[in-house]
Amino acid sequence: MTRTSATADPIELLAGPGLLSSEEREIQLTVRRFVADRIRPGIGKWFEEGVFPQEIAVELGALGLLGMHLEGYGCAGTNAVSYGLACMELEAADSGLRSFVSVQGSLAMFAIRRFGSEEQRRQWLPRMAAGEAIGCFGLTEPDFGSNPAGMRTTARRDGDDWVLDGTKMWITNGGIADVAVVWARTDDGIRGFLVPRGTPGFATNDIHSKLSMRASVTSELVLDRCRLPADAVLPEAHGLGGPLACLNEARFGIVFGVLGAARDCLTAALEYSVTRQQFDRPIAGFQLTQEKLTNMSLELVKGYLLALRLGRLKDEGSLRAEQVSAGKLNNVREAIAIAREARTILGANGVTLEYPVLRHANNLESVLTYEGTSEIHTLVVGQALTGISAYR
């Protein structure tokens, strides 16, 4: 009737050891320990109060987790699988924490690393890798989410300067960012700009009353005749391919990350089910509960094997965008289903912040929508299968 120690980690139980190198495993366990010491004790309170613990940024930097799969400029330069595993362990604590790391490393730092000038890289990347400077990534607008090509934010030349006008919406880290990567329409197509905090004409407004991602800052960015010097533009990014390349990086982290949230929910449900007694026996002893736990474990381990496969392809340099879409679509969909199923096993206790399951489920509602909605990723895979675009 009691659980063996092997079942503490359903992934280990069903997929077995040996899929990771010793270095990858070490990175995973280091992040897991950090999360246990520094995040788990406070996360319920931070979520309830709607705050992101900003002091964590330098600790994440010291661990090498910010821009960790980027090379040079103070970045750790790990492989993609290690980065994915770190995302998984961070998101096992809370999707808001993983979002912070994704936006900092895969969106803001990646944009500067891939598309920035040498001077821009030197100015921002070492401090961002250390967590001393925070970045955000402004693509979405109030009227343009899934279709960023329609964006209304403009950047026009005035002498050597650029002048930006427009509004970005739902921007993670916006209110705490030292630098915003802002995408705007120019005479020359869509370009990216680095907008430092405090630039006249640039303001942020945090979005409150969220029922999801409460331990994460989400903001509006307002650009009102915001004047920037000529060298504020990212010289190597031309067209929508620039921001989409960044999003692909962040989506890869999500493929792994959400499995952490799902694993945390499954673990909570397993632990609860062996101790909670109804009808004079643990609820884990009922076949209906075991079916739920089994099905959740199967989806978790399938998602993990898919994530690992995509990680290996990324490390080989052959990962394609539709494969990332398939991974994001599947793993977020299954993670949210696992979180909701876990909630049922916890009964009424499952709706409280005493347990992580509904917090994870609520966070995953945002993950289902950001970095490309599940519908959009369905269409990406559908187009890859049929050769026909169904967006319009």
Ligand X SMILES: Cc1cc2nc3c(=O)[nH]c(=O)nc-3n(C[C@H](O)[C@H](O)[C@H](O)COP(=O)(O)OP(=O)(O)OC[C@H]3O[C@@H](n4cnc5c(N)ncnc54)[C@H](O)[C@@H]3O)c2cc1C
- The set of catalytic residues is 371
Q: Does 194 bind ligand X (CB under 6 A)?
A: no
Distance separating alpha carbons of residues 126 and 121, to the nearest angstrom = 8
Distance separating alpha carbons of residues 246 and 228, to the nearest angstrom = 22
* Binding flags for ligand X, 137-166, as an x/- string (CB under 6 A): xxxx----xx--------------------
Question: CA distances (Å), 285 to each of 114, 127, 145, 278, in order?
Answer: 53, 53, 46, 10
| Among residues 189, 298, 375, 389, the one that binds ligand X under rule CB under 6 A | 375
Q: For residue 293, what are its two tokens?
A: 């736990």
Helix pair 241-275, 287-316: axis angle to 10 deg = 150
Q: For residue 6, what are its two tokens?
A: 């092997």
3-class secondary structure, 170: strand
What is the smallest separation between the CB atom of 301 and ligand X, expressed in angstroms?
28
What is the smallest separation between the CB atom of 293 and ligand X, expressed in angstroms?
30
* Binding flags for ligand X, 326-365, as an x/- string (CB under 6 A): ----------------------------------------
Where does this chain touch ligand X (CB under 6 A) — which range of 81-89, 184-192, 305-313, 368-376? 368-376
Where does this chain touch ligand X (CB under 6 A) — which range of 39-47, 121-129, 135-143, 191-199? 135-143
What is the smallest separation between the CB atom of 4 and ligand X, expressed in angstroms?
38
| Among residues 312, 369, 382, 383, the one that binds ligand X under rule CB under 6 A | 369
Q: Does 376 bind ligand X (CB under 6 A)?
A: yes
Render 261-288 in DSSP notation, one character per residue. HHHHHHHHHHHHHHH-EETTEEGGGSHH
Contact by Cβ (8 Å): 215, 366 = no
Which residues, at least 6 apart from 172, have a Cβ–Cβ distance to it below 8 Å?
99, 100, 103, 136, 137, 213, 216, 217, 218, 370
What is the smallest separation between the CB atom of 368 and ligand X, expressed in angstroms?
9
What is the smallest separation between the CB atom of 101 and ligand X, expressed in angstroms?
12
Distance separating alpha carbons of residues 283 and 346, to the nearest angstrom = 10
Question: CA distances (Å), 367 to each of 235, 332, 360, 362, in order?
Answer: 30, 7, 10, 9
In the region spanning residues 285 to 324, those forming contacts with ligand X, defined by CB under 6 A, are none
| Cβ nearer to ligand X, comparing 162 with 170 | 170
Q: Does 218 bind ligand X (CB under 6 A)?
A: yes
Residues that bind ligand X (CB under 6 A): 103, 137-140, 145-146, 170-172, 213, 218, 366, 369-370, 373, 375-376, 379, 391
